[in-house]
């Protein structure tokens, strides 16, 4: 790990559980319904538009009702289940707290619809540890597009070569590297923390600190 001074965390799959398949398994008994809803919801361009903030939740629900023939209250229950499924990953949150206690500048970059983010933001106090947060549904930019990484760097006046981005998806890491960010492919909280600490120690050694 090269020398780093700032850390950017993804949310889903890193700090929060994210499993569309598990959500659908809890709501729909038969495999055919689960497959159909996976295609209609998570693999449809509307979901990415909802993530980006270019369609509202009501528009998403109306489009889903037309596309699937399901009742609006059933589809609202699905959106509620999605919100409540985003549970904190305790081991990664513990890493976040240890880094914050060391005074490491922490930031967040997530693809998430604005109303879902606001719900999750209200559930957990760990968001208070971030010096800056960028959410796709609020800025209408998404990973792995270069523009969203450039937006974060410019908004919070960060140097890419001093900053590492942690994400569980390789395309997002490739997008981050395209603007000069260092990256960590998240698979395990302990391994992630060791990599971050190595980068922090490398930076400290350059300035004679620890």
- Domain regions of the chain by residue span: 6-17+88-207, 20-85
Alpha carbon distances (Å) from 75 to 29, 113, 202? 15, 16, 50
Which fold, 6-17+88-207?
Answer: Rossmann fold (3.40.50)
- pLDDT digit string (tens) for the chain, length 210 residues: 689 999 999 999 999 999 999 999 999 989 999 999 999 999 999 999 999 999 999 999 999 999 999 999 999 999 999 999 999 999 999 999 999 999 999 999 999 999 999 999 999 999 999 999 999 999 999 999 999 999 999 999 999 999 999 999 999 999 999 999 999 999 999 999 999 999 999 988 876 554
How are the residues of the chain apportioned to helix, strand and coil, as percentages rounded to the nearest 5?
60, 10, 30
What pLDDT, on a 0 to 100 scale, did the predictor assign at position 209? 52
* Pairs from 79-85 (Cβ < 8 Å, separation ≥ 24): 79/116, 81/23, 81/26, 81/27, 82/20, 82/23, 82/116, 83/116, 83/119, 83/120, 85/17, 85/18, 85/19, 85/22, 85/23
Quick check: 152 and 109 in contact, CB under 8 A?
yes
Quick check: 196 and 164 in contact, CB under 8 A?
yes
Quick check: 185 and 173 in contact, CB under 8 A?
yes
Q: Which two tokens stand for residue 56?
A: 């509202």
């Amino acid at each position: 790990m090269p020398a780093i001074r700032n850390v950017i965390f993804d949310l889903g799959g890193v700090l929060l559980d994210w499993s569309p398949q598990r959500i659908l398994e809890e709501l729909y008994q038969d495999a055919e319904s689960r497959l159909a809803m996976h295609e209609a919801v998570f693999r449809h361009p509307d979901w990415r538009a909802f993530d980006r903030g270019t369609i509202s939740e009501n528009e998403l629900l109306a489009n889903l009702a037309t596309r699937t023939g399901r009742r609006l209250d059933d589809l609202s229950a699905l959106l509620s289940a999605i919100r409540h499924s985003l549970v904190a990953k305790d081991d990664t949150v513990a890493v976040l707290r240890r880094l914050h206690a060391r005074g490491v500048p922490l930031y967040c970059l997530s693809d998430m619809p604005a109303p879902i983010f606001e719900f999750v933001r209200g559930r957990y106090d760990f968001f208070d540890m971030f010096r800056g947060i960028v959410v796709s549904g609020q800025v209408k930019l998404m990973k792995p597009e270069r523009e969203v990484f450039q937006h974060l760097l410019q908004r919070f006046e960060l140097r890419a070569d001093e900053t590492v981005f942690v994400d569980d998806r390789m395309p997002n890491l490739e997008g981050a590297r395209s603007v000069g960010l260092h990256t960590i492919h998240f698979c395990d909280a302990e391994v992630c923390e060791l990599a971050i600490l190595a980068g922090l120690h490398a930076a400290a050694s350059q300035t004679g600190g620890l």
